[in-house]
Amino acid sequence: MLNGERLYKEIASQLKQQLFEGVYKVGEKLPTERQLAEKFKVGRTVIREALIFLEIYGFIEIKKSSGIYVLKTTDESESFINSGRVGPFELLQARQLIESNIAALAAKNIVKNDLEKLYVILEKERALLNSAPNNELDHEFHIIIAGASQNNLLVELVKYIWDVRNRDPFWQSLTQESDQLDYSQKGYNEHKAIFMALQKKDAAGARQSMWQHIENIKNRVSKQLESESKPEFDRYFFDSINLEIDER
C-alpha cells in the first residue's frame, strides 16, 4: 500500500475505476466518508482528499449535510486526447482566450472565501519554491478562479481543458524534462500577480495577468521544444490571442 500524500491518489484512482465499471451510477450517492475509510482501511482525511480530487475532475459533487453524488462515470476527454487532435499550443491558445476572460469576470464576482482559498494555494506554492512545480496546486488555482466567476458552465469548461492537459503524456513528459526550479519560481510570481488583481477587483488587471501568465508558459514551452526539435511543435499554427482585441 502507498503511503503519504500519494495514498489518496491511489484511492481516488480505485474509486474512479469503480465509476467506469458502473458500480455507481450517475445521480447515485457514494458511501459516506466513514464507510469508505473502513473499506480502504485508511483515515477519513485521506478519503476526504481523494474525494476532493475526484470533485475537481468533475466526477462527483460533495454536498454538505446531504452526501457525495456521482456526476459522471466516463471520461470524455480520453478519446479526444487519444485522437491526436490537440497540440500543446492549440491547448495554450484556448486557455489564453478563455481563462483570461474568465479572470476578468472573476474579478468582478469574487468573494472573500475564494480569495482565502487562493491565498492558501499561494502559500503552499511559496513553500515549494525550491522544489518541482506542483501541478495539483496549479490546477486547483485555476479551477478556483473559474469558480469565482459564479458561472458553473465556465467552471466545467476549465475543468475539461485541464483534464485534457493532465491526461496528455506530452505535458507529463514536458514537466519532467523542464527546469523545475525556474518553473516553480516564475509560476508562483505569475499566480501572485493574478491574485493581487483579483483582490483589487481589477478586471482589466486580472485579464492581463492571466493572459501574461499563459503567454509566459507558451514562451517557456516554445523554448524547450525548439531546443529539442520535438514533433509536437505546433507553435507556428497556433499563435497567441491578441489581448488588444478584448480592449477595443
Q: What are phi and psi of 67, to 5 degrees?
A: 145, -170
Torsion of CA 222, 224, 229, 233, to 10 degrees: -30
Tens digit of pLDDT at every position of the chain (248 positions): 444 457 887 888 889 888 888 898 889 999 999 999 999 999 888 898 888 888 877 789 888 888 999 988 876 555 444 444 577 888 898 999 999 999 999 999 999 999 999 999 999 999 988 877 778 889 999 999 999 999 999 998 999 898 888 777 667 666 554 556 677 788 899 999 999 999 999 999 999 999 999 999 888 887 777 655 555 556 656 666 666 644 43
The amino acid present at 34, given as its one-letter code, is R
Which pLDDT score, from 0 to 100, does residue 146 have?
96
Rounded Cα distance between 7 and 4, Å, is 6
Q: Residues near 36 by Cβ (< 8 Å), separated by ≥ 6? A: 11, 15, 30, 47, 51
Domain boundaries, the chain: 4-70, 78-247
Give the CA distances from residue 8 to residues 27, 91, 172, 175, 230, in Å, rounded to whole numbers and listed in that order. 23, 28, 20, 22, 34
Which pLDDT score, from 0 to 100, does residue 2 have?
44
Rounded Cα distance between 48 and 43, Å, is 9
Handedness of CA 73, 163, 189, 186 (dihedral sign): positive
Rounded Cα distance between 85 and 234, Å, is 11
Which pLDDT score, from 0 to 100, does residue 66 have?
87
- 115 CB neighbour count, 10 Å cutoff: 15
Q: Which CATH class is domain 4-70?
A: mainly alpha
Please check whether residue 143 is in contact with residue 56, taking contact to mean a CB–CB distance below 8 angstroms: yes
Q: Which CATH class is domain 78-247?
A: mainly alpha
Which pLDDT score, from 0 to 100, does residue 17 have?
86
DSSP class of residue 59?
A: S
> Would you report the helix, strand and coil content of the chain in percent, each value rounded to 5?
70, 5, 25
Which pTM does this prediction carry? 0.65
